[in-house]
Structure 1
Amino acid sequence: MAAKRVRLAKRRKAVGLSQEKLAERLGIERSTVVRWERAETEPQPWVRPKLAAVLKVSADELQSLLDDVTVIQAAPSERMNYMLEHPSSADLVAVAYLHERVRQLDERYDKVPSTALLGPAGQVHGQVKFLRENAANPRVRRALFEVEAESATFMGQLTWDSSQRRDHEAPISYLDEAVHAARQVGDACTEAYATLRKSYVALYGEKAPAKGAAFAAAAAEVAGPASPSLTGLALLHVAEGHAMSGDLKACEGALKKAEAQFDRVNGDDVAAEYYTINEFNRLAGSCFLFLRLPARAEPVLRTTAGALGAKQKSQAIALGNLTLSLIRQRKLDEAAVSLHRTIDTVELTRGGGGLNLAFAAGRELREWRHEPWVQDLNDRLLALVAAI
């Protein structure tokens, strides 16, 4: 089941604050505000007086807002089993159940290896497609297309990650499916995000920067009228494609356009949580690395790696890139510490991006392969291979 603090969110909006702006006023991450409004966590005692002041309520009124939790019941498994046996009778309650299952699995993405999510996510995706193909009610079919667009995008993400970014065909197939489903219901954000993930496969899997930049530019165009956050994120990957091609001027131009999107983000932007200053800095640091500017990359990546603790797969990527920037500046003691941290994070998540960067850093240490500290790192990397 899911829960929401509807009145808390309404009060925030009533005082004219987005989740991002409220987080800034309180000196916390936006994700913390999201968890409060989803009734997943409670504000810590130290922040409550400031929160009450910003929301212009008393301490008692704040407690009342926090206590008012709306619980959304998911359909029980018996009902779902009935729908799967009689798919023409699928209703919006079944759709809500499946949508909630996709959301729950997606929330676990940064906490567990993708291989652990692939089975359950595949099962849910199959159920969504089956019901959508057989549902008699047009409204239900439309709603199932919306869920299918999200679940297919997630499956594309999981299959690529689980293959350690080696399998390009299956992820693209799922992402194409997501684009098709999103277009059936005019969901520009999901269409743009699925297209953006196709750019990831081109950039990091196929090593095709022009193709990746083209997909990212297409995603930005689709997202433009609907989501400044998603537009900005897509433009960051346009910049990265240019950086991989060695085009500094085009890269900096795309970064500038991406940065300008921050001014357009508001509380109604459904993708705002994906486009934060941390994500901007992570991609900017990656761009500087591709452009052979490790000294420019290092401070940005160092700050970002420290701020991404809650997003461990993204943190592993930032740490891996930070390690590369340090090696290329021959700051070897710091590079060793950073690579150990990268491996620590990858051991928990098995994220393909962080794993690939950890091995890339290991390869760049070959010059010092006879040093005991490098041998220790190589032992850890070999153990990582054995555990996959």
Structure 2
Amino acid sequence: MSRRRQRLIQRRKTLGFSQEKLAFAVGVERSTVVRWEGGEREPRPWQRPKLARVLEVSLDELDEYLASQVNEEPDAERLVFALRNPAAVDLVTVAHLAERVQHLTAEYDTAPSASLLADAGHCHSQVTLLHNFAPAGRIRRELCISTAESATLMGQLVWDASQRRDHAVSVQYFDQAISAAREVRDPILEAHAQLRKGFVALYGTKNTREGLRLCNETAMVGRPASSVLTGLGFLHVGEAYAMLGERRACEGALGAAEESFARIHKDDEAFHMFSPTQFDRLAGSCYLFLGVNHRAEQILTRSARSLVRWRKSQSIVLGNLTLAYIRQGKLEEACGTLHEAIDLIEETRGGGGLNIAFTGGRELAPWRHEPWVQEISDRLFALMAT
């Protein structure tokens, strides 16, 4: 049974750190902090001095925090009681669920979506039930936040696990997240769910004008609170314009995104959603849509090699780079990057990368009798079968 380091968690909260901010201060991923606190992993020897300094404790005290684990069973008992008596839910139970949502969210970029779906769905149903019965006040506010976060995660997982086919259910989850975020007037959570809803329009239903509207709205909602979400909104506005073939408007939106990213501060609440590779990733996609394939190749090549930690995103970039190569007749290069993309898709089962890989496979159809194309086709067929 998992044993969580409650004293370590409490020390972090006492100093006012979120998991994201502690991870940034120590120089690790948020998922690493989640695993430290969950008792799943030990800080490496070279990480301990910096972690101790950030938490303002001695190394001996840090060892005590790491050694002091509390079985999750008491929290589980509280949760069972709260689910049977929703109006009696307390802050300890709410915090337990919030940590669970954050843990699952941290796993999203590394684990196959289908493998997370059952746990995330179970957690979301618990959060939603308690939210529906919670009295006004702090408890309801905290449950609103968890509802928005878990609904956004569920929308992402359902869409990925369905290989970006189940648009309606995903949008229902994103709408639930937006509603919960608006209840507590949280522009970060609202803009994030709005952005994800925009992705469904852009890449799922192919309603580019609706995607453009939703991504513009993301930028407007996020602007007062987060340069990260404002920049991400403008990035996808640029991509929508590129899909429509409007290069000038696309480059204007990319410029607005770049300006927003230049204003990012580490205290931005959405800082964990930002990576320095995002601009190149989307700019490369834009030039691919605009048919400027040599420019897309330059940008995507640079981006692909910088995305080692973000496996699902890297598979999408490699898929797009494959398309840029094919459209320039660089078939040997296309073969290499498509195999790399498939390697990552086999690991993560990311729906975005999978769809682009199949597009690459279709564009290689004129060379289908070549042995190397047949090998790629076999790998894509195996992905489809599983």
Q: Same fold, TM exceeding 0.5?
A: yes
Distance 1:274 1:162 in 2: 21
| Structure 2 counterpart of 1:105 | 104
Judge conservation of contact 1:4–1:38 (CA < 8 Å) in 2: no
> What is aligned with 2:130?
131
Distance 1:308 1:278 in 2: 7
Q: Residue 192 of structure 1 contacts residue 220 of structure 1 at CA under 8 Å; is this kept in 2? A: yes
Q: What is the SS of the residue equivalent to 1:337? A: helix
Alignment of 1:124-273 (within 5 A): 124-136=123-135, 138-273=137-272
- How far apart are the structure 2 equivalents of 1:90 and 1:33? 28
* TM-score (norm: length of structure 2): 0.86
Amino acid across the alignment from 1:373? W
Secondary structure at the counterpart of residue 265 of structure 1: coil
**Letter aligned with residue 108 of structure 1:** E
Counterpart CA distance in 1 for 2:32 and 2:263 is 23
Q: Does 1:92 align with 2:120?
A: no
Kindly report which structure 2 residues correspond to 1:47-126, keeping only aligned pairs within 5 A, or say none: 76-126=75-125
Contact between 2:227 and 2:268, CA under 8 Å: does it hold in 1?
yes
What is the count of residue pairs matched by the alignment?
369
Instruction: Note if contact 1:31-1:273 (Cα within 8 Å) is conserved in structure 2.
Output: no
Instruction: In structure 2, give the amino acid aligned to 1:251.
Output: C
Letter in 2 for 1:258: A
Task: Tell me how far apart the structure 1 counterparts of residues 45 and 305 of structure 2 sit (CA, whole Å).
Answer: 21
SS in 2 for 1:307: coil
* Deviation string, structure 1 residues 358-385 (Cα, Å, up to 9, x no partner): 0000001011111110011001111111
TM-score, reference length from structure 1: 0.86
What secondary structure sits across from 1:276 in the alignment? Answer: coil
Over residues 273-320 of structure 1, what are the superposed CA-to-partner deviations in whole Å (9 max), with x where a residue is unaligned?
222221111111111100111111112212222221211111111111
Distance in structure 2 (CA, Å) of the matches to 1:33 and 1:162: 23
State the 1:191 CA deviation.
Answer: 0.2
**Deviations 1:104-126 (Å, cap 9, x if unpaired)?**
11111122211111111111111
8 Å CA contact 1:5, 1:69 repeated in 2: no
Structure 1 Cα separation of the partners of residues 240 and 45 of structure 2: 42
2:352 is matched with 353
Cα distance change, pair 63–292 in 1 and its aligned pair in 2 (3 A): farther
Aligned residue number for residue 293 of structure 1: 292
| In 2, Cα distance between equivalents of 1:207 and 1:72 | 49
Q: Residue type of the partner of 1:191?
A: E
Structure 1 residues 167 and 34: alpha-carbon distance in aligned structure 2, compared to 1, 3 A threshold: closer
Flag the 1:244–1:127 CA change in 2: closer, same or farther, 3 A: same
Change (3 A) 1:19 1:152: closer
Partner of residue 386, structure 1: 385
CA-CA distance at 1:100 after TM superposition: 0.8
Q: Distance in 2 between matches of 1:97 and 1:33?
A: 17
CA distance in 1, matches of 2:196, 2:16: 35
Q: Which moved more, 1:226-235 or 1:33-42?
A: 33-42
1:160-207, Cα deviation, whole Å (9 max, x unpaired) = 111111111111111111111001101110000000111100000011
Residues 243 and 289 in structure 2, CA contact (< 8 A), matched pair in contact too: yes
Deviation of 1:99 (Å)? 0.7
Stretches of structure 2 that go unaligned for 5 or more consecutive residues are none
Tell me the residue number matched to 1:27.
none
Give the secondary structure class of the aligned counterpart of 2:277: helix
Q: Secondary structure at the match of 1:112?
A: coil
The answer to whether the 8 Å contact 1:320/1:339 transfers is: yes
Query: Secondary structure of the equivalent of 2:377?
Result: helix
Q: Contact 2:34 / 2:103 at 8 angstroms: preserved in 1?
A: no
Query: Identity, % of aligned pairs?
Result: 46
SS at match of 1:308: coil
CA contact (8 A) 2:30 2:106 kept: no
Change (3 A) 1:31 1:239: farther
* 1:4–1:370 CA distance, 2 compared to 1 (3 A): same
Cα distance in 1 for partners of 2:105, 2:131 equals: 21
Q: Distance in 2 between matches of 1:19 and 1:260?
A: 26
Cα distance between partner residues in 2 of 1:312 and 1:33: 15
Alpha-carbon distance in 1 for matches of 2:10, 2:332 = 47
Q: Amino acid of the residue matched to residue 378 of structure 1?
A: S
| CA deviation map 1:113-158 (0-9, x unaligned) | 1111111111111111111112245321221111101111111111
SS for the counterpart of 1:277 is coil
The question of whether the paired residues in 2 share the 8 Å contact of 1:18 and 1:266 is answered with: no
Structure 1 unaligned regions, length at least 5? 24-29
C-alpha contact (below 8 Å) 1:90/1:136 kept by paired residues: no
Cα distance change of structure 1 residues 171 and 123 upon mapping to structure 2, 3 Å threshold: same
When the two chains are superposed, the root-mean-square deviation of aligned CA atoms in Å is 3.1
Does the CA contact (< 8 Å) of 1:5 and 1:66 recur in 2? no
Measured in 2, the distance between the counterparts of 1:168 and 1:379 equals 28
Residue 26 of structure 1 aligns with which residue? none
